[in-house]
Amino acid sequence: MSNVTIYHNPGCGTSRNTLELIRNSGTEPTVILYLETPPTRAELVKMIADMGISARALLRKNVEPYEQLGLAEDSFSDEQLIDSMLQHPILINRPIVVTPLGTRLCRPSEVVLDILPDAQRGSFTKEDGEQVIDAQGKQIKN
């Protein structure tokens, strides 16, 4: 069983790049397709706490339920926002990666490098052609 978990949406480029950065470190993570298997309330609350962010900071804004539910208004409590995310998992921003070194919302995908237990094993280029890891496994700072 892997000690790295990614809450993944294969339809999202950032999520795919993050998954490949994890694999580039030699780790095969536990992949949770969170749109099909959403986290429980307890799991979601723990991830938000572990990331040190508010529930609002985890909300995806450019999806239909966000507008329909009027979530742009500041009148919702964290509990209500969590309820909305559990009812509409598409509202959970992604990818979220959990490792022994921490939990992060990996946007951009390179954020995952801060919490991976193992170093990168070779070069890595994002889907858009941006090289982020050189042949020696070192991050390229742009």
Residues forming the active site:
12
User: C-alpha distances in angstroms, 95 versus 34, 79, 103?
Assistant: 9, 21, 11
Tokens for 66, please give them.
């966000």
Reference 20, options 102, 128, 93; nearest CA is 128
User: C-alpha distances in angstroms, 49 versus 12, 57, 85, 95?
Assistant: 24, 12, 15, 16
Spatial separation of the C-alpha atoms in residues 123 and 138, rounded to whole Å: 8
Spatial separation of the C-alpha atoms in residues 7 and 14, rounded to whole Å: 12
